Amino acid sequence: MTHVSVAVPCRLQINGQGYAADLPPSVTLLDLLRERLGLIGTKKGCDHGQCGACTVLVDGKRVKSCLILAVSIPDAAVMTIEGISQNGRLHPMQQAFIDTDAFQCGYCTPGQIMSAIALLEEGHIHSRAEIREFMSGNLCRCGAYNGIIDAIERIVAQQRGNHAGEAA
C-alpha cells in the first residue's frame, strides 16, 4: 500500500508578514515557525503544552504553539518574539526583563515575555499573586520568577504613570 501525503493550504500573518503554503496537516505552529520559517526565538520545551516555552500570540491571545496545528488557524495573526520590537527598539517588556534580571539561562524568556505581554492586555495585573497565577503556565527551571514579576510590575507602573500623565 502506498502512503499518500496530503497537503492543506495554510495562510497566516506572521509578525505582520503574509505566509501561504501547502502543509501536511500535522505540522504544528511551533514547527512551522522554527523549522520552516527559521523563527527560532520561539522555543521547543516539553512539546506537550506544559512548560510555555513555545508561547506566541495568535490574534492577540497567548497560545502554546506546540499544541496548535498551523492549518487549524486560517488567516490568524501570529506574533512571535521576533516580531515585537519596533524600529530596531526592544519592546518595553523585553527591556523590563533586562532591567530586572528576569532571566538566567534565557531559554524560557521568549515565552515568558509573550505571555507577559498578553497578561497586560488581559488585565490580570492587580497583585503579585494574581500575576503569579496568570503566568503559571510558563515554567522557568532557573527560578527567575521574582525578576519576571518585577519586570511585569515595572511595565504596569510605567503604563499607570503614562495614563496619569494623559489625564492631567
Domains and CATH numbers, the chain: 8-83 (3.10.20.30), 92-167 (1.10.150.120)
Give 48's pLDDT tier (boundaries 50, 70, 90): very high
What pLDDT band is residue 125 in, cutting at 50, 70 and 90?
confident
Nearest residue to 102 (alpha-carbon basis) of 140, 69, 147, 138? 147
Q: Which of 66, 60, 58, 54 is closest to 138 using CA atoms?
A: 54
Task: Specify the residue for cell string 501570529.
Answer: 78
pLDDT at 163: 60
- Cell numbers 516555552 correspond to 53
In this prediction, residues 117-144 reach a mean pLDDT of: 93
pLDDT in tens, 3-14: 667 899 999 999
pLDDT score, position 168: 39
Q: If 0-12 CB within 10 Å is exposed, 13-18 middle and 19+ buried, where does residue 120 land?
A: middle
Average pLDDT across the chain, whole number: 93
State mean pLDDT over 31-35.
98
Instruction: With a cut of 70, say whether residue 137 has pLDDT above it.
Output: yes
Q: How does residue 161 score in pLDDT terms, banded at 50, 70 and 90?
A: confident
Cα 113 from Cα 56, distance rounded (Å): 9
pLDDT classification of 167: cutoffs 50, 70, 90: very low
What is the Cα–Cα distance from 12 to 23, expressed in whole angstroms? Answer: 12
Q: Quick one: pLDDT band at residue 20, thresholds 50, 70, 90?
A: very high
Cell of 21: 503554503
Average pLDDT over residues 30-38: 97
| 2 has a pLDDT exceeding 90 | no
Top pLDDT among 79 and 166 is at: 79
